[in-house]
Amino acid sequence: MKTEYNIEEILEILPHRHPFVLIDRVINLDPGKTVTALKNVNINESYFPGHFPGKPIMPGVLILESMAQAGAFLVLHDLEDPQKKGMLFSSVEKAKFRIPVVPGDQLIIKMEMINFRMGSAKIKGEAFVDDKLVTEATIMASLVDR
């Protein structure tokens, strides 16, 4: 069973495209249960000049989006034809931002399926840099037609 996916394989499943693809690789997938993905944080990201000049920090909302994309991969991967579906954020619960994420960091994103019913997913996640928890949240998303 395949457990790792490169960026080309991710793009076959997720609808996101440059400049809004926020996961670079899936390093472990347990279908329907968990996914671990990574995001390399590069100084060339378009948001760094404005967030913040002289002290670049990855916006928390983009960390949440990278977590949501990993969660979407977890859900869409199991579908017969994932190119016909997408996932839309519907809510975020218990989001906590513990440590700033800066250029050169590598986010390791771990998402766990809590519940999937009637096209709605509840997914709990954590993001780490160097084994330190930087962000955690529970995300709700809905399966929609593309």
Active-site amino acid positions: 51
SS3 10: helix
∠ Cα 113 137 17 (to 5°): 75
Distance CA 69, CA 84 (A): 16
Angstrom distances, CA of residue 134 to CA of 38, 47, 60: 14, 19, 10
Distance CA 67, CA 75 (A): 13
